[in-house]
A and B are shown apart, each in its own frame.
Chain A
Amino acid sequence: MKLDVNGKVHNVDVEPEMPLLWALRDELNLAGTKYGCGVAQCGACTVHVNGDPVRSCVTPVGSMAGKKIVTIEGLGAGKGLHRVQKAWVEHGVPQCGYCQTGMIMAASALLAKKAKPTDDDIEAAMTNLCRCGTYARVRRAIHSLAGNKVEADPAPAAAPNGQTI
């Protein structure tokens, strides 16, 4: 079976019903795409298929013929960081980072379709689960890419012990 991943065609010898996630992770060693639930609930396994965000844990490899798959490893297309990844760095989004590759794939697919998403658009597209609590920063990073107003952190304060924070 042929899989077009990140601009390269790979031959994989797997059952057609194998979810794309496991062909990527265990056959092609592309470990940036994560397993979280196996039932399309969490979005950690999000990849692009022909530009659409797809939950690879429930997407059979057999349905991928002729389709272009992009994973986190190929998002920058060999030209360094994708702008979503840059915004993620700038806004210090990741904590543990496990869900972040799925988040970044979902956000980049959203922005490719809608350059200036509203809060509602963002909430509708970003249904990924994050246990560390990066949601506010994810939202902020996407707004910054859309050129929307970004709420600032509370002003830093001088601590009584002389430490400036």
Chain B
Amino acid sequence: MKIKIDTTGLRESKWYEYAVRFAFGGTVTALTGVIARHFGPAIGGLFLAFPAILPATATLIEKHETETKQKAGKMGVASGRRAAGVDAAGAAMGCFGLLVFAVIVWKALPASSLALVLIAATIAWLVTAVSVWIIREKIWRAIARKLHATYRVRSVTRNPQSSAHTRTR
């Protein structure tokens, strides 16, 4: 599957949807600071990996996908929920990158420059997240190909006439 830039997602989004994300992100970030102040860095640090954006994003994806399908004359609700689920699966893969980001900041920050550590950790996050996504895509496709090939071999040995008929068609 090819990665591409598509601006239709941006055009579908309304300004208040970004305002909701801004409010979510801002509130969680402020709360993280307040929690760390009251309970210490060990508890406050947990909230640096709080899923602040996922609920808002999943809800908006469900809404947009459902609306798109309904405009095409289809029901669309199930499709919208599936699209939100696929996005969440991507977030689960991105968490491996988040973990690498945290490890780099934990280990490197006390002895290195802040800017350098943040740049290195962000690059490591992106590389890890994209690598996990590519590996998962390749493995998934390889399994799907294998299953498809096995299914075809079985159907040919069980019913050679129908498969020959299918092939000639």
Indicate whether A and B interact: no
